[in-house]
Amino acid sequence: MGALYSVAEIRQAERAAAAQLPPGTLMQRAGRAAARIALGIIGAEPVAHQALVLAGPGNNGGDALEVAASLAQSGVGVTLVQLGRADAAGALNHIPAGRQWALVVDGLFGIGLARPVEGAARAMIDTVNALACPVLALDVPSGLDADSGAVIGPDGVAVRATHTITFIGDKPGLHTLAGRDHAGHVIVDRIGIDEALLPGASVHMNEPAMFGLAFAPRLHDSHKGTFGDVAVVGGAHGMAGAPILAARAALLSGAGRVFVASVDHGPAFDSGQPELMFRDAASFNFAGSTIVAGPGMGDSATAIRLLGKALDGDNPLVLDADAINLIAASPDLQARLAARTAHTILTPHPLEAARLLGVTAGVVQGDRLEAAREIAARFDACVVLKGSGTVIAMADGEALINPTGNPGLASAGTGDVLAGLCGSLLAQGWPARDAALAAVWMHGEAADRLVAEGCGPIGLTASELPAAIRRVLNRMVAERPKPAGQPQS
């Protein structure tokens, strides 16, 4: 389900399959598969010069030539521009930026590109990105790293496709970092290759099937103590809103009791959510609570002392924001984190992850999967590396990329909501892995639903998320997958 493969793994399967087939078979299959998708995009009544096909010098270009031939045989008017031909640049200069093209097919470069796109190829990509028509990329949008999702090169360029047909197996770079902006709708076609030729995947797409069995309906014979306590530790001076957002998310996602344990003197109650209980963190008894540490926590001596206490305890623990920064700055706190045996989830954004690893945010973003895995292994924890295509990594090397969410989440406080949601599921008895996967998926799905209702993505606020998450959660409980052999309701 939702397996993602590296370029090296795809190449290995491709070589194995090609050795069993006549030369050119895979290229022909790829071309025909892409042509079927192209015809579906173009629709009925093809007219002259409807499709512009860009072909590069390698196998990706060969796929593009097959697409061009198949489209022409189907009655589509095709203009073919081949990179490396003397007239390529001149032909591009005469491409009108209007609605003449029903489709552009990007077959310039495939998954093997290792250097920034330059010269005539860059001019082609710039021209394509200025056109107002659908763009179908073959295997991967040209200029995009199929493993990392980064645009190749510090000043690189990549095709912005509306659709990508990717061959043999799906690739992680299509779903994280810049990949989501450049790949568009992703279609996977195995081009007849036996799945047995692919290795067992260690990276998958996050989806409800990965965690859905952890959902359970609530019994009538239950009470607030059944669903656990969450204590959000934060709220340094001037940052009281962050722990309140986390606490509201914990409450509306089902935790039995939720406390805001303030580092500094904070509000006595939340008028918007009076069910929350406020305590002084220094004197609060954390026994039995799942702790969410970090939202608005600050870097005071009190904050450091409270964080150390949380790390040394056996409470399930979510570490976010300032808690992560404090740990990154202290070898002692890092050692205490690594020594924990209780469930632990870290939710860094790229800069916080970079601080934990002692690198730059650019290094983290250059290989988000590897960065998340390294943090998870180093601290024996579940790591949620936030961003476009959030990566969830486990200490054993398993990693997943989350498909839900939108730019509306790029606003203040949404990470606090996610941390509170993680803590709530831990408090309700979920394992850290399932809690992280479900929280990230529902957090993004709630944002997507708000956008569908007209509440964003521009101007979507963190305080709108908890109620939307509650709706998503209750729907998922009602529609939860049943164990094998159990009748579906």
Q: Which domains does the chain have, with CATH numbers?
A: 3-201 (3.40.50.10260), 208-478 (3.40.1190.20)
Q: Is the pTM of this model over 0.85?
A: yes
Ranges assigned E (strand) in 3-139: 3-4, 51-55, 78-82, 103-107, 135-138
pLDDT at 186 over 70: yes
* Separation of alpha carbons 182 and 151, rounded Å: 9
* Whether 6 contacts 147, CB under 8 Å: yes
DSSP H helices in 210-349:
241-252, 301-312, 322-328, 331-338
Residue 78's pLDDT is 92
Q: Which residue numbers belong to the known binding site for (6S)-NADPHX? A: 59-63, 110-116, 139, 242, 296, 349, 416
For the chain, percent of residues with pLDDT exceeding 70: 94
252 pLDDT band, cuts 50/70/90, is very high
Q: Where are the alpha helices (DSSP H) in 358-431?
A: 361-366, 368-379, 414-427
Residue closest to 55 by CA, chosen among 158, 157, 124, 153:
124
User: Is the Cβ–Cβ distance between 380 and 354 less than 8 Å?
Assistant: no
Binding residues for AMP: 386-390, 415
Lowest mean pLDDT among 156-170, 187-201, 212-226, 306-320: 212-226
Cis amide bond preceding 457, omega within 30: yes
List, for residues 262-295, the tens digit of each pLDDT value. Answer: 999 888 899 999 999 999 999 999 999 999 999 9
Say which amino acid occupies 198: L
Instruction: Say yes or no to pLDDT of 377 above 60.
Output: yes
Task: Identify which has the larger pLDDT, 373 or 120.
Answer: 373
Tally of CA atoms within 13 A in the half-sphere of 278 that contains its CB: 18
Q: Is pLDDT larger for residue 87 or for residue 233?
A: 233
Tell whether the model's pLDDT for residue 98 goes beyond 60. Answer: no
pLDDT at res. 165: 98
Predicted confidence band at 489 (pLDDT cuts at 50, 70, 90)? very low
If pLDDT is split at 50, 70 and 90, which confidence band does 479 have? confident
- Give the model's confidence band at 96: pLDDT under 50 very low, under 70 low, under 90 confident, else very high: low
pLDDT per residue over 14-49, tens digit each? 999 999 999 999 999 999 999 999 999 998 665 556
In the block, residue with structure tokens 């990509």 = 125
Q: What residue numbers does the annotated binding site cover?
A: 59-63, 106, 110-116, 139, 142, 242, 296, 349, 386-390, 415-416
pLDDT reported for residue 401: 98
Please count the residues of the chain: 489
Tell whether the model's pLDDT for residue 482 goes beyond 70: no
Cβ atoms 320, 416 nearer than 8 A: yes
Listing DSSP states for 301-312 in one string gives: HHHHHHHHHHHH
Answer yes or no: is pLDDT of 405 > 60: yes
Whether the predicted pLDDT of 487 surpasses 50: no
In the predicted structure, residue 92 carries a pLDDT above the cut 90 = no
Q: CA–CA separation, 350 vs 406, rounded Å? A: 17
Query: Computed over its alpha carbons, how large is the radius of gyration of the chain?
Result: 25
Chain-wide mean pLDDT for the chain? Answer: 93
pLDDT tens figures, 415-442:
999 999 999 999 999 999 999 999 999 9
For tokens 């959000």, name the residue: 232
| Binding site residue list for K(+) | 60, 106, 142
Inter-residue contact 81 to 91 (CB < 8 Å): yes
Local structure of residue 91 (DSSP, 8 states): H
In the prediction, which pLDDT does 43 show?
84
| Average pLDDT, integer, range 46-67 | 88
DSSP 177-194: TTHHHHH-EEEEE-TT--
Q: Which pLDDT score is estimated for 91?
A: 54
Confidence of residue 94 (pLDDT cuts 50, 70, 90): low
Q: Which residues contact 135 (CB under 8 A, 6 or more apart)?
A: 103, 104, 105, 106, 128, 159, 160, 161, 162, 163, 184
For the chain, percent of residues with pLDDT exceeding 90 = 85
**Rounded Cα distance, 176 and 146, in Å:** 10
Burial of 114 (0-12, 13-18, 19+ CB in 10 A): exposed
Question: Amino acid identity of 280?
Answer: D
In the prediction, which pLDDT does 213 show?
80
